[in-house]
Structure 1
Amino acid sequence: MDSNITFYSEDGRGNIFDGNGNEAAAYDEIEVPGVSMKEASIRKERDTEYNIYTEKDRLMYLYFVFEKDMKNKEAAAAANVNLHTARKWKQKYQQSPEEYVPYKLTNLVPSLPVSQLDDRHKDHL
């Protein structure tokens, strides 16, 4: 440790002392501005890496966007939905409003190869 560095501490009464108990001759006091805290809102915890949204989540987001006239970012935060997912839901709703709730497209990607296993393989297993 460098011998030129001296650490000072306060005794709780406003007196400043160094490591040997000697009172500090002069020092500059730096005031740290206070931090205002606010209560965090209660949000549903999502533990998984990939979020699994319920129908209620989709309906809440669409309600905030179309009924409450909130912006996408605000509505996604209020419904606890990822912003990019919410944007896709809104786009699909605007393309076909009769569906109302766009469901997640899983295994509907045309570029996936067709399974090579059939019923014979399932019976064998």
Structure 2
Amino acid sequence: MGKNLPTTTAPAVRVVYYPQPVTTAPVVYTPQQLIAQREERVLRYMQWRTRQLAIQEQDRRTRRTLIRIGAVVLAVVLLAAFYGCWLVYQLVTGLPVGDIGVGLLVLLFLLGVGGSCGCVTIVQHFH
């Protein structure tokens, strides 16, 4: 036999209507006011469009810089992997490892050449 627990019912929602105390007159614009509003909208649109073009240009430059950095990082990773495999091969086969220093210098030279992609880093802080 189950317990008969008391249940509570939600109180009925009371809707309150607030009538408008005064009806407002419809807004009537003169032709000069309409022309001024249109000119203001066109001006605001042109300002918005100019901002959007500036944002697009900044995005384009950022993408180009990030792609260049990514290409350099990829080249470094591939060169490091190649150099590591070559080093392991040299150690396993017992070949002379005297060229490791030369290989390291070549790798550092390639990093220096690849790392200078002509990018100029400008830090801009916008609020």
Common topology (TM > 0.5):
no
Structure with more contact order per residue of length (Cα contacts < 8 Å, sep ≥ 6)? 2
Normalised by the size of structure 2, how large is the TM-score? 0.21
More helix by share: 2
